[in-house]
Amino acid sequence: MATANTWYVRLPDGRTLRARTADVLRSHLHAGRIPAHSQARRSGEDEWQPLQRIAELAEALPAERVAAAELPRAPARETRAAGVRGIVGELLGAFDRSLDHVKLSIAAIMGVLLAVGAIAFELIGGFPLVPWGLTGYVGAAILLLAVVAVGTVLLTQMTFIELDRRRPARAAELRADLVRQTLRVFFAQGLVATLLMGMVLFFRAAGPWLAGYDPGETNQLRDVALGVLSVARLLLEVLCWPILGMAVLLLGPLLVIEEHSILRSLREWLGMLRRHIGRIYLYEAMALTLATVLALPMLLLVAIAAYSVGDTVGSVERITLLVLGGVALTPMIAYLIVANVFIYLNIRYEFFCTPDDR
């Protein structure tokens, strides 16, 4: 959704604003709505520059404001909380945005369809693996990825338009680029999920194969290799699920908000993980905690209903419980997707800042 003409302005108090064109930004500067001490940069650029040093923008500043901006000034007072307290503030802002009946309706449909996918995986287990079982698993996986992609695009576009244009998103805006954005998110998330799951399945299959292999006199060497393989498998499984979660949650905003190719988006996603892994982990952990709190009351009701059925649960009851569980996840799904729009914008465009950043 961002274009090459998009500008970002960092105000003296640390807030970051977005202008779709240089003309819009110049009109705000000319009207005096943006302080002369602010900094700006184009979309895709890494360095912030003072307004008076950017030729396209300095001409919109009155001469007295340019002169004032060049004078020494006292350090700006901190107006936004830093550290964990600031992160909680951002995530609570996302909480307010997620409690919208349209977003919750989309999340509820996603939850039901995800439950249908889980039911399909259970039913496919009764077929021979080749060819029907394998085909069914692939089809169910595609269904789950498609549901996540469509829901991610819709909720991300709605949230971004609300933040960017200060108004609710219109239906025409959501439909305009839905197919293309969905395909982009589907292929990007699918590629990461396929690579990670492929590695996990490879290590799971390699262990039993190596354990059953008899190399004769080099059995001790095989045992050492088997131990190394087991450790590598456990490390991979521990790291795989958080990375997969970050791919599903962070790739969506990156692809929807920016107009980069899929490969470039994947490179930027990896770069974000490399540079900000600690901050991203803290954001995602706290977002997941809040999302769990939101979903817990409904999940407890479903759990009580499942307990009342007991061990005699039949196929109809099990399917019903899975669908109810999907519906109970509605606030969690909506909140996690909306919160990751905030997380992406804060990390990519420094909406969240510390005193050292000013």
Helical ranges in the chain per DSSP H: 22-30, 55-58, 63-70, 83-98, 101-124, 134-165, 171-176, 178-212, 219-257, 262-309, 315-328, 330-349
Kind of pairing between the strands at 16-19 and 39-42: unpaired
- CA dist 273 and 265 (Å) reads 12
Same domain, 128 and 182: yes
CA–CA dist 83, 63 (Å, integer): 38
Name the helix (H) or strand (E) containing 7: strand 7-10
Is residue 78 a part of any domain in this protein? no
CA–CA separation, 101 vs 289, rounded Å? 22
Residues 175 and 99 in one domain: yes
| Number of neighbours of residue 355 by Cβ within 10 angstroms | 12
User: Which single residue is written with the structure tokens 């958080």?
Assistant: 242
| Average pLDDT of the chain to the nearest whole number | 80
Rounded to whole angstroms, the Cα distance separating 118 from 141 reads 9
pLDDT digits (tens, 9 = 90+) for 91-132: 887 888 888 899 999 999 999 999 998 888 888 876 666 676
More confident residue, 5 or 137: 137
CA triplet 140, 142, 148: central angle to 5 degrees? 105
- Average of per-residue pLDDT across 272-299: 88
By mean pLDDT, which of 10-19, 68-77, 109-118 is the weakest?
Answer: 68-77
Closest CA to 44 of 1, 7, 18: 7
User: In which band, very low, low, confident or very high, does the pLDDT at 356 lie, cut at 50, 70 and 90?
Assistant: very low
Task: Assess whether pLDDT exceeds 70 at residue 248.
Answer: yes
Map residue 82 onto helix, strand or coil: coil
Mean pLDDT of all residues in 288-304:
92
247 burial type by CB count under 10 A (0-12 exposed, 13-18 middle, 19+ buried)? buried
Domain boundary (46, 70, 94) is at 70
Asked if 287 and 336 count as a contact pair (C-beta separation under 8 A), the reply is: yes
- The verdict on residue 2 lying in a domain is no
Does 151 share its domain with 66?
Answer: no
What confidence tens digit (pLDDT) does each residue in 128-165 have? 666 767 788 888 889 999 999 999 999 999 998 888 77
Query: Residues 129, 261: one domain?
Result: yes
Q: Are residues 64 and 109 in the same domain?
A: no
Same domain, 157 and 43: no
Residue numbers of the domain that contains 23: 7-70
Count up the domains in the chain and report the number.
2
301 within a domain of the structure (yes/no):
yes
CA proximity to 273, closest of 289, 248, 256, 250: 250
Q: Are residues 94 and 241 in the same domain?
A: yes
The answer to the question of residue 210 being in a domain is yes
Question: Could you tell me the strand order of the sheet in which 16-19 lies?
Answer: 16-19, 7-10, 39-42, 49-50
Q: How far apart are CA 221 and CA 226, in angstroms?
A: 9
Q: Are residues 64 and 139 in the same domain?
A: no
Whether 102 maps to a domain, the answer reads yes
Question: Residue 171: which pLDDT band, with cuts at 50, 70 and 90?
Answer: confident
Quick check: is 75 in a domain? Answer: no
Co-location of 36 and 92 in the same domain: no
